[in-house]
Amino acid sequence: MTAPQPLIAGNWKMNGLAASLDEAKAVAAGLEGTTARVAICPSATLIAQMAWALKGTPVLIGGQDCHAEASGAYTGDVAAEQLADAGASLVVLGHSERRAGHGETDALVAAKTRAALRAGLEPIVCVGETLEQRKAGEALAVVTAQVRGSLPPELADNAFSVAYEPVWAIGTGLTPTTPEIEEVHRTIRATLIELFGAAGEAVAILYGGSVKPSNAAEILHADEVGGALVGGASLKAADFLGIIRAV
Ligand code: PGA
């Protein structure tokens, strides 16, 4: 089976106002020659405006979370159907900031992943160990359990990716060594094949956590790394393009 097309996704987190759309437009304007799929995942408030601003460009737009239900009395939440309606085609699910800050369990992430599929969104499901878990030698077991628990069987017939984001590498400037990244990505690949058979070989496994232009080439060319989920460095078009060009 051929390797999946690399995906470079920018996670803007709770950053960005209407004025930030200029950065998104600058990303779209700088994509000539890239072989990657490129996505920007802004706050829900910006999705419709960004979809309009980037209409006709190859940049995909993603949400950062969704509710498991399609509609209802869930004040403050956003349904996958609403993200799709606003112009999103992907959604990040199970980010460690949601798992830690909002008590999201693997089961909830799996329910949200089903919701994304129901709405026609391509899920990017995040997994990753804490520093304590890595120091205790539990990284592979933790990540494997998260992959098994967060990916529902319905994904078998759909496009999706998995993002390995060690919690201790997010926003810290720290990154695992390349062999450490490869060890986890190979383990995720084996788990994907165990869960989905041959289809598991076609899933892009993204790395996330302090990816920047200066380390992108080494990370993106590591074994079983099929792209990146980029936080801080995705906020500036020049940095994000530097990462995209490293594919
Ligand atoms: P970072 O965030 O690139 O700022 O470390 C990555 C993420 O949380 O997706």
Residue 232 domain-assigned (yes or no)? yes
Average pLDDT over residues 180-193: 98
Name the closest-CA residue to atom 6, ligand 1. 231
Cβ-Cβ contacts under 8 Å for 29 (sequence gap 6 or more): none
Q: What is the pLDDT of residue 1?
A: 53
pLDDT at 171 over 90: yes
Q: What is the pLDDT of residue 64?
A: 98
- The number of residues in the chain equals 247
Task: Tell whether the torsion through CA atoms of 73, 79, 81 and 87 is positive or negative.
Answer: positive
Q: What is the mean pLDDT of the chain?
A: 97
Assigned domain for 45 exists:
yes
The whole-number average pLDDT for the span 178-183 is 98
Q: Residue 43: its pLDDT value, please?
A: 98
Q: Is 23 annotated as catalytic?
A: no
Determine if ligand 1 sits within 6 Å of the CB of residue 170: yes
Q: Nearest residue CA, atom 1 of ligand 1?
A: 231
Write down the pLDDT at residue 7.
98
The response to whether residue 211 sits with its C-beta less than 6 Å from ligand 1 reads yes
Report the share of the chain in percent with pLDDT over 70: 99
The rounded Å distance from CA 216 to ligand 1 centre is 13
Number of domains the chain contains: 1
Q: Is 165 a catalytic residue?
A: yes
Tokens, residue 204: 């892009």
Is residue 1 one of the residues assigned to a domain?
no
11 touches ligand 1 (CB under 6 Å): yes
Q: Mean of the pLDDT values across residues 120-131?
A: 98
Distance CA 59, CA 61 (A): 7
Residue owning the nearest CA to atom 9 of ligand 1: 231
Is 10 a pocket residue for ligand 1 (Cβ < 6 Å)? no
In which band, very low, low, confident or very high, does the pLDDT at 2 lie, cut at 50, 70 and 90? low
Q: Which contacts of 172-177 are long-range, i.e. CB under 8 A and separated by 24 or more positions? A: 172/209, 172/210, 173/210, 174/209, 174/210, 175/209, 175/210, 175/211, 175/215, 175/219, 176/209
What integer is the mean pLDDT of 197-216? Answer: 97
Q: Band of the pLDDT at 3, cuts 50, 70, 90? A: confident
| 239 domain-assigned | yes
Mean pLDDT value of segment 2-29: 95
Single pTM value for the model: 0.98
DSSP state of 155: G
2 found inside a domain: no
What pLDDT shows up at residue 4? 82
Task: Taking each helix axis as running N to C, give the angle between helix 21-29 and helix 237-244, from 0 to 180 degrees, rounded to the nearest 10.
Answer: 30
Q: Is the CB of 181 under 6 A from ligand 1?
A: no
Look up the domain containing 29 and give its range.
7-244
**Percent with pLDDT over 90 in the chain:** 98
In 3D space, the residue among 247, 235, 246, 245 whose CA is nearest the CA of residue 24 turns out to be 235
Tell whether the model's pLDDT for residue 139 goes beyond 70: yes
Between CA 109 and CA 99 the distance in angstroms is 9
Q: In this structure, what CATH number is given to the domain that contains residue 196?
A: 3.20.20.70
Is residue 156 a part of any domain in this protein?
yes
| pLDDT tens string 62-116 | 999 999 999 999 999 999 999 999 999 999 999 999 999 999 999 999 999 999 9
Of 95, 97, 129, 185, the catalytic one is 95
